[in-house]
Amino acid sequence: MSNEVRVRYAPSPTGNLHIGNARTALFNYLYARNAGGKFIIRVEDTDAKRNVAGGEESQLNYLKWLGIEWDEGADVGGEYGPYRQMERLDIYNKYVDELLERDLAYKCYMTEDELEAEREAQINRGEAPKYSGAHSDLTDEQIKEFEAEGREPSIRIRVPKHYTYEFNDIVRDKISFESSDFGDWVIVKKNGTPTYNFAVAIDDHLMGISHVLRGEEHISNTPKQLMVYEAFDWEAPKFGHMTLILNENRKKLSKRDEHILQFIEQYKNLGYLPEALFNFITLLGWSPVGEEEIFTQDKLIEIFDAERLSTSPAIFDPAKLKWMNNQYIKASSLERVVDLALPHLIEAGRVSEEMSEEAREWTHELISLYHEQMSYGAEIVELTDLFFKKEIQYDEDALDVLKGEQVPEVLEAFKGKLAELDEWTPENIKAQIKATQKETGHKGKKLFMPIRVATTGQTHGPELPNAIRLLGLETVTIRLNDALKQIQD
């Protein structure tokens, strides 16, 4: 094996890109880029029953959206292809034949019913279920009888006796398994397709993979893959198994857990920024030196060190992701924030897709009011709700503000000042608030809060003169009158 760092992400085309899979791809990408090595995408599509139409394309599209690029793959080519397993069957067959010839593998004709009966019997005896080796030494006559019955064989590798499989994991240090824990396992199914552990070991060797970074659920696969490496006298790559991602209740992140959005597509559709997700996912099970948490992709490539992969489970904190995305939104141009938010206003029916130039300018200004506050694009619909309501429903805090004895005087005076305006600008509206202060003698919260509550229905919000300007004189006047009527009633 050469000294070049070569790593891979090997998705199955079974659906959209999950957060956990994205993390695997991202860590491999960072590792390769930091070391000046190669990052390869290999599609593991041998499980035809689970494959979905468009699954491969979806996975690759969302990896690209996150900012991950690869050096080799089915879509970009490379000297180690094909990069889809179903296009590599002839390659696997060659190695299967070699194992059969060397008697390191054999054909097993046991039916599913027979295998299940064997498993049940073992469980009833209090044993860990594993293949017994019942067909490991069939005679030619037995084989002919089974084939005459029309039985299709699977092919099993012979697991060495009394052997310890040991490897130094990049994350977890020394890990070992006893061969006695395994029965002879299937390397080729009855339908002729190779199993995961066999195919992946062949592919990793032939593609020169030097390091395998993956989730801890693959730890139990590692000894089987080492068996394949040793059967062919190949050098195994270095393995690193990342810890689980847990939810806030410290339970394993499950695809059935709808409390947390778990697919990259969902975050893209909500208006999250790819660089924020890239940054956030990198910190799920890896930590940089120091306290800083916001990094550019180039900086993460520069500082990534696999030795700093955590040995403790990562906690997926949606609130932290929202905070981090807000940091990136605040640092983005208004044009980019408009691109994130506008589609959601259109989808909600708040504005028209075919709007006039005046309406477009108004909408851009509306979005700009929340540039600093917005955590993700879709949030603009809720944030701007006050601009699209015909009637305001005051909450308890707002009603408390309107109970102030000075409120009728302030609102009447402010309404009169607005009616005197020749030009409807934030600067002029701000001046009329000051003029209301001068006329009534009320200032601070006693002045601003009644005006804010009466015009917006909220006790907190964007810059008040800007909000009033976008609401328009007619709407503001109606709301002031409604507030005064509610006070009087």
Report whether 31 contacts 306 (CB < 8 A).
yes
Report whether 221 contacts 41 (CB < 8 A).
no
Distance CA 95, CA 89 (A): 10
Beta-sheet pairing, 173-178 with 164-169? antiparallel
Going from the C-alpha of 301 to that of each of 6, 389, 435, the distances in angstroms are: 15, 47, 56
Length of the chain counted residue by residue: 489
Report whether 106 contacts 100 (CB < 8 A).
yes
Q: Which two tokens stand for residue 462?
A: 């964007």
Distance CA 353, CA 341 (A): 13
Angle at which helix 473-488 crosses helix 445-456, to 10 degrees, equals 110
For residue 82, cis peptide bond before it (omega within 30 degrees of 0): yes
Distance CA 91, CA 251 (A): 41
The answer to whether 255 is a known catalytic residue is yes
Residue in 144, 251, 255, 445 annotated catalytic: 255
36 three-class SS: coil
The residue with tokens 């061969």 is 179
Q: Which residues contact 207 (CB under 8 A, 6 or more apart)?
A: 6, 8, 40, 42, 72, 80
Q: Which two tokens stand for residue 251?
A: 């339970």
Where helices occur in 295-394 by DSSP H, the ranges are: 297-303, 318-330, 334-347, 357-369, 379-383
Q: Which two tokens stand for residue 315?
A: 């906690």
- Nearest Cα to Cα of residue 171 among 24, 318, 10: 24
Taken in order 302, 19, 194, 187, the sign of the CA dihedral is positive
Angle at which helix 464-471 crosses helix 426-440, to 10 degrees, equals 110
Residues forming the active site: 255
